[in-house]
Homo-oligomer: A and B are copies of this chain.
Amino acid sequence: MAIEFVAGPNVEGLAISEAVRADGFVFLSGLAGFGPDGEIISGGVVAETDRIMLDLKDILARAGLRLSDVVRVSVHLRSATDLDAFNDAYAKYFPKSKPARIATVAGLLHGGLLELEVIAHGPKPAQQEEK
């Protein structure tokens, strides 16, 4: 099966795909708490996490997947002091199907407090197969 590059509205003009599907796996580009105006939203780590999860659900939906199809999440936090607040915000999105997770403190290339890397897995939706 060929690789499928998902363009998506958030990466127009950039040298990246929103997500790339290969076999049953979907690899997403880094997710940060950007609002509709292209700026990191205010409100701190919980607000950014909620915003990222909204985007994540949208991107997964465009690939025919859901949060329960997420296999692995890598979290890059700007500050270790945000870990507990992040954990609480994150946990409510994965009540049963809990992805493998790695978390580190890293420098970020935007003004946000965190960035998420996501790998998901699931079948391609039927309407896309028919193309």
Contacts A98-B5, A101-B30: A20 and B71 contacting too (C-beta < 8 A)?
A: yes
- Whether A121 and B22, one on each chain, are in contact in the complex, defined by CB atoms closer than 8 angstroms, is yes
- Whether A87 and B117, one on each chain, are in contact in the complex, defined by CB atoms closer than 8 angstroms, is no
Contacts of A83 in B (CB 8 A): 109
Contacts of A35 in B (CB 8 A): none
For A75, give the chain B residue with the smallest CB separation. Answer: B109
For A, the interface residue count at a CB cutoff of 8 angstroms equals 50
Q: Mark A117-129, 1 if CB is under 8 A from B, else 0.
A: 1010110000000
- Whether A23 and B20, one on each chain, are in contact in the complex, defined by CB atoms closer than 8 angstroms, is no
What are 22 A-to-B residue pairs whose CB atoms are below 8 Å? Answer: A3-B121, A15-B90, A15-B91, A15-B94, A15-B98, A16-B100, A17-B98, A17-B99, A17-B101, A19-B100, A22-B121, A23-B25, A25-B25, A27-B100, A28-B100, A29-B101, A29-B102, A74-B102, A80-B109, A103-B109, A104-B108, A105-B109
Q: A17-B99, A104-B115 given; name 7 further pairs at CB < 8 Å.
A: A5-B97, A11-B98, A15-B91, A18-B100, A22-B121, A27-B99, A30-B104
Binding site for B on A (CB under 8 A): 1, 3, 5, 11, 14-20, 22-25, 27-30, 68-69, 71-72, 74, 76-77, 80, 83, 87, 90-91, 94, 97-109, 115, 117, 119, 121-122
